[in-house]
Structure 1
């Protein structure tokens, strides 16, 4: 990514973090980087293109935070670590995060999440023809759930768990779902679940 474009996107994201998505305008971003509004266009286009650039930037941050090492980590632990990295991104950028759900992936890096999920599902033994569909489903579950969590849009539970405990329980169920799909595919993904022993789950890098 061009250095000037990255600077503009970084400042746009900082603006959204501080003041919310509604406060983001070409003029407000231009003021933060010491340019006129018109001077932004060669780097980020108009406001719609700027929003797409934020989607690309969020995916770049996610790819940097998640250390995917298939040689060392069981696919279940990788799926947990990836999901936690997505949640950490949502908590760090709650105003911008819903863009991942509401806008199409525009930049080259914006396909990163789906590609990471496809690799995990392949290693889980999911049939190749089913991998794109299951990856899309997990994307929708993660992005939808976490958008609801950071915006307060989730339904109120009758006997709520602590948010971290609820998310971990949801990951248990998600892993069980992938295991069942793998078994149907003839992949036989094995048994370790419930926090995927041995050792503790991999965490996103800080």
Structure 2
């Protein structure tokens, strides 16, 4: 990614983190990087292209947080690490994060590719990989978006420990997904 484009996208993401997605405009981003809004267009196009760039940036950050995807690491550990990386990303960028659920990635979804690779390495039959990928992706993005937007009902009987309880619940849900994958491998 071009350095100037990356600077603009980083500043756009910082703006969204600070003031919310509705505060992002070409003018507001231009002010942050010391340019006129017209000077942004060669680097990021219009506002839709800027939003696409934010999606790509979130995918890059997710890939960096997840780290390498070596085939010699057990697929169960990889799926847990992937889920936790998704959840951490949602908490770092709660205002921008819903873009991953609501806006397709023009460059392709890093998350989808990582899930497909993990399921393939787990031994899931090729015909089942797309379905399981969609289901796990829907869970990861839906659950974490619901957490950061307040769209999930509280499951805690102990509001004082809501954060700890939600992390434990998320990990339990990841374990359920792993069991689902294991059943799929055995049944086929």
Aligned to 2:181: 178
Equivalent runs, 1:19-168 vs 2, <5 Å = 19-67=19-67, 68-71=69-72, 73-107=73-107, 110-157=108-155, 159=157, 162-168=165-171
For 2:20 and 2:99, the matched residues in 1 are separated by 12
Deviation string, structure 1 residues 124-165 (Cα, Å, up to 9, x no partner): 111111111211111111001000001111023374771111
Deviation string, structure 1 residues 45-69 (Cα, Å, up to 9, x no partner): 1111111100000000111111222
Aligned to 2:17: 17
**Between Structure 1 and Structure 2, how many residues are aligned?**
182
Using the size of structure 1 for normalisation, the TM-score is 0.85
Deviates more, 1:54-63 or 1:147-156: 147-156
Deviation string, structure 1 residues 25-60 (Cα, Å, up to 9, x no partner): 000000000000011111111111111100000000
Q: Would you identify which runs of 4 or more consecutive aligned residues in structure 1 move more than 4 Å?
A: 158-161
Higher helix share: 2
Deviates more, 1:110-119 or 1:45-54: 110-119
For 1:3 and 1:159, the matched residues in 2 are separated by 48
**Structure possessing the higher relative contact order (Cα contacts under 8 Å, 6 or more residues apart):** 1
For 1:148 and 1:9, the matched residues in 2 are separated by 25
For 2:86 and 2:38, the matched residues in 1 are separated by 34
Deviation string, structure 1 residues 67-116 (Cα, Å, up to 9, x no partner): 22221x21001000010001110010000000000001112xx4211111
Structure 1 pair 81–4 and aligned structure 2 pair: CA distance change class (3 A): same
Using the size of structure 2 for normalisation, the TM-score is 0.93
For 1:81 and 1:156, the matched residues in 2 are separated by 24
CA positional deviation for 1:172: 1.0
In structure 2, the gaps of 5 or more residues are none
